Chains A and B, each alone.
Chain A
């Protein structure tokens, strides 16, 4: 491939794509005729708005308080993570994955590590697989807790928010225990995990698994049969399973619309096939159904964690393939081989075979996919993230049409977007 302007046969000016100047007239088709005549009101909601969950901007066309059109405008949190990853070796690029969806950091690590493992053909030891499942499910609970807290806060049930953060704190403590970091753990690495968990890990997780069901009952006691909460969520933001599929929705949002699609069941990875768990689904496809699905998912995740902990075998936690995975610290001091491997891997990295792969995991928000293309060098030639928040957000205009502003806020909350995940 030749950079723009370097090709002799095609001078810079001609190869340069035309730059379109967008005027207001070009955007008028987005709103209805009535907005142009001033009959309806255009309201700019966000990017600085308490309920857009970050820097999402919505252009609303309102008839009174009824939403006629809702035009999402994204890109305020664009960080160029994908491009930046192309400039780093495979190991070092992983640090950026934590920053994509900052509520699912361990899950992002897993998606990336699985893609690299698939690309170079690495095996992962059974203990590492078990640890991955435990941590990813803990992360799923933590993410759902934040969703529950903020979604409840969007309908002004403010206390739930702080109760959820109390439990999330326990999960972050477990992450700190295993990785030394509370959020940006980079704990799951290609070929396994960073290091084995400390001895306190098992007790911490077991305590959490024991305590958590009661806490979920408490949240449900506050919300599930609360008439005001039902009033705010029943029949709001309905989307049919067909529409959801056409818009590329995945995750709890899709499962609340009656489509039973969960990658953990449909395309098992990391040994999910050994665990006995249900995939909660609902058929109504409204805000309340999405609420029920996510709350139930928290309970199922607890079941998975418990089983994974019971089945967790002893043994190594990272692959023995020294060409791709750095040797353990203890070997470096005594083995010349190990020192060389360590030096080579952390300076120039490993060369991945030429080719491209796509690998996906079920993140708390839906299908989190990584497309990884290698040109045979030590750095990814192209990496693309198929992030669930981005695709799920597309359903917002459809869901919001005809509802009130108050409902729109509840709907945004129910989609569970993370802007770091949308804009990348």
Chain B
């Protein structure tokens, strides 16, 4: 480790944090405009052309707002909580590659790569960093000395317990398919086919679990506005609130980047463009563009879900997590492993048995859910 490589990490890290902070600001703008389109409204269009300066106006407003501290709050934790929440959101994407090896470029005699850290246990790193964020939310809820905030914090813990396992198991299906926990390998393994196609149910479980992970609708129980006013951030204002808000949106961006890398081929071109001029192999600099487009589309999915679906109750989320997601994702791990074993020992075509069988398993799970609903409908009459 030379001084120069430390400096490179620092500069790349700084640039990436700045990108994320800018991304957060414009994600709020994107969300407000997209929501407005869905809801037959116009959305912010006053500040600057098309309202493009709105995030900056919001930031200025939040920075100059009075810092408010509830009288009997735990001052240290109250200040620390937003930082604890934000940090994981900023560092989680350090292991994700944004472009292929071919796009590396020389600068001052060094080869600059398109990732910050090349970690061979990248997936494990993501898992562990992702679970730290919940401490910030719990601490924010507890230290505010507000009953609503505390309920929000408690919900957050209950919620995390129920989806983390399913999230972890859906990672394992990907690891099995790629035969590596290094993200660059996982992305390169999707050159021929996205894992979203090979393991569609795993992808859906991952997306559902990540919605819960980042506390987005329909799993936004910790800050349920209609129930707990604003949950864990009820007492926060000014920059502290901005940090919590930033954490939520940066987590959204980060989780979409991870989802794109794990299931949608990351910086690789869509498989049908392989071998054409639009392929990353031929035009390496398209890699970051593809990743950006995928993240953009996945983010729209999150916004769309928020506009459409009612919020689920937190005890129902726990039941859903433990009774449906966990068994299903466990089954998927076995199915994927079995499929790969058969592919390697019997016939390569067994690879395509994985999506077929897992879709069938997913169908059984959906039937199970409807059965519970139907039973509930009969029971009430």
Contact = CB atoms under 8 A, between A and B. Distances in A.
Interface residues of A, number: 38
Given A163-B39, A227-B373, A406 B227 contact: yes
Nearest to A412: B226
A382 interface: no
A162 interface: yes
Given A43-B147, A50-B226, A232 B313 contact: yes
Interface in B139-165: 147-148, 151, 155
Interface string A222-253: 11001111111011001000000000000000
A94 interface: no
A8 to B, nearest CB: 56
B147 A158 contact: no
Interface string A141-164: 000000000001111111100110
Interface stretch (B79-87, B217-225, B344-352): B217-225
A409 interface: yes
A234 B38 CA distance: 27
A228 B373 contact: no
B227 to A, nearest CB: 5
- Most chain B CB atoms below 10 A, which of A154, A157, A162, A406: A406
A226 B309 CA distance: 8
A234 B310 contact: no
B147 A406 contact: no
State which size class the interface on B falls in: 35 or more
Contacts of A51: 226-227
A283 B310 contact: no
A286 interface: yes
A398 interface: no
Given A49-B229, A156-B226, A162-B41, A404 B309 contact: no
A284 B381 contact: yes
Given A162-B39, A163-B39, A283 B226 contact: no
Nearest to B38: A159
Given A234-B373, A409-B227, A228 B309 contact: yes
Contact of B312 (A162, A166, A228): A228
B66 interface: no
Contact of A228 (B224, B310, B379, B381): B310
Contacts of A226: 309-310
A120 interface: no
Contact of A156 (B147, B217, B380): B217
Interface in A144-195: 152-159, 162-163, 166
A50 to B, nearest CB: 6
Contacts of A158: 39, 306-307
B76 interface: no
Interface in A190-232: 222-223, 226-232
Interface in A264-293: 283-284, 286, 288
Interface in B52-106: none
Contact of A238 (B307, B315, B380): B380
B310 A157 contact: yes
A286 B380 CA distance: 8
Q: Dominant SS at the B interface?
A: helix
A223 B41 CA distance: 21
Interface in B155-190: 155
Contacts of A405: 151, 227-228
Contacts of B380: 234-235, 238, 284, 286, 288
B220 A156 contact: yes
A288 B381 CA distance: 11
B224 A156 contact: yes
Contacts of B309: 156-157, 226, 228
Contact of A162 (B40, B313, B379): B40
Contacts of A284: 380-381
A106 B349 CA distance: 70
Given A230-B373, A231-B373, A284-B381, A404 B313 contact: yes
B5 interface: no
Nearest to A66: B315
Contact of A409 (B148, B217, B221, B226): B226
A49 B316 CA distance: 24
A154 B310 CA distance: 9
Contacts of A43: 147-148
Contacts of A223: 310
B17 to A, nearest CB: 31
B322 interface: no
A407 interface: yes
B12 interface: no
A41 interface: yes
A65 interface: yes
Given A227-B370, A232-B313, A405-B227, A283 B218 contact: no
Given A156-B224, A156-B310, 6 more contacts: A50-B226, A65-B314, A155-B310, A230-B376, A238-B380, A284-B380
27 contacts: A43-B148, A50-B226, A51-B227, A153-B226, A155-B311, A156-B218, A157-B309, A157-B310, A158-B39, A159-B39, A162-B39, A163-B40, A166-B40, A223-B310, A226-B310, A227-B370, A230-B373, A231-B313, A231-B376, A232-B313, A235-B380, A238-B380, A284-B380, A286-B380, A404-B313, A405-B228, A406-B314
